[in-house]
Amino acid sequence: MDSNNNHYSPSSTSSTPHPTTTTDPVQSWWETVSKARSRILSLSSIIPSHASSSSFSISSLADSDRPAISFLSSPDAYSLISSSLSSPVSGSGSDPLCQWLYDTYLSSDPNLRLIVLSFLPLLSGIYLSRIHSSDSSSAPSLAGFEAVLLAIYSSEVKSRAGKPVVVQIPHLSQPSLYHTPRNKPHKSQVQAPSTGVLSPPLEPQIAIKSTKRPVIVGVALDCYFKHISQMPSWSKVEMCRFAASWAGQDCACQDKFDEFDDADYFLEGRNVMISSNEIEDNSGISESQPKGVRIPLPWEILQPLLRILGHCLLGPMNTQDAKDAASVAVRRLYARGSHDLVPQAILATRSLIQLDKRTRETAKATAANSSSNANTPAKAKKPEILLVSK
């Protein structure tokens, strides 16, 4: 679906970025709090409290000294917004929630922008799943979702300033922290590091066309990855669950690296591989149905997606729910890459699976040692004899 009218104009109530002239830190802080409260109260008028089965009200978050952070860390707020975004009629150009997300991302407050990014897994997941579903021709307009994605993409275009994202790849003939070359090269033979392009320069876009969709969604996912350490656990779990669904149905290939392992090591009391669609995070958000459908996974989308999964899998501060969800998704993507014969996907996912296995084996061994040490009685110390010289 190509959309030509899929972007909003900032509303008169939104806080568009502009340089602040206030030098008083207290006044600047109060202005930030006031703007955040205004944005949250405007959302409460869009999604009234009776939309939720609980007694939670979004407007209650506006009373906090840090309203944007309180919103970001509230599982009730996330659940309430998620229900509205998941509605069958959501995502249209007239969707007030999409307008709110669009206006909020244009805010100068970075914490408000984090709120919008926390819903990116759900928004992009629903958007791509609807685009590629069998009945997409009869689906309602998704101009609202596309406007939010374009806002994130346009912000990234501006920040990159027409430059590509590159990485310096050192030559193996040069020593590093990880190796020392056997034969030291002569000065005349010194190899300069090569440059790899992770992302080419971005072009401004005013609409999401089918040919540009992977790039725009991929850039939005990359922006999410840049701030992933500030994302709540339920947002990360949401991303992992969509990634598993995008990869396709269960396949025996995903268990290839777990065939000869101890059955209890990977599960750790959680039937992860069998109940991959029933992952429940600490927020209490749980669904028994798959989060999305199988979709095309070009490298523009798969590359940032694998970075996100790598963080969820190996980040030391992540919850066990996020690690388990990422473990399922990585194995599904390995199976998908094996069937599609995509070398980059096979190498990347296989490496993540091996790292996941080693991490879990180490954790299991550490837990076993701690348990054995706790059950081993400590030897009684011999009484110390003090020698007093006469």
Which among 6, 292, 285, 9 has a CA at the least distance from the CA of 301? 292
Q: b/e map of 310-331 (b: 16 or more CB within 10 Å)?
A: bbbbeeeebbebbbbbbbbbbb
Which phi and psi angles does 52 have, rounded to 5°?
Answer: -110, 150
pLDDT tens string for the chain (390 positions)?
A: 455 555 566 654 444 444 445 567 777 878 888 899 999 999 988 886 545 546 788 888 988 889 999 999 999 999 999 999 999 989 999 999 999 999 999 998 999 999 999 999 999 999 999 999 866 566 678 999 999 999 999 999 999 998 998 888 877 777 777 778 777 766 666 667 788 888 889 999 999 999 999 999 999 999 999 999 999 999 999 999 999 999 987 666 666 666 544 444 444 434 444 344 444 444 445 444 556 789 999 999 999 999 999 999 999 999 999 999 999 999 999 999 999 999 999 999 999 999 999 999 988 888 888 777 666 665 555 555 555 554
Are the C-beta atoms of residues 85 and 145 closer than 8 Å to each other?
no
Question: What residues are paired with 168 via a beta bridge?
Answer: 195
Global pTM reads: 0.81
Are the C-beta atoms of residues 52 and 59 closer than 8 Å to each other?
no
Q: How many CB atoms within 10 Å of residue 1?
A: 16
Are the C-beta atoms of residues 312 and 333 closer than 8 Å to each other?
no
d(CA 195, CA 323): 32
Question: What residues are paired with 166 via a beta bridge?
Answer: 197
The contacts of residue 287 (CB under 8 Å, 6+ apart) are 277, 278
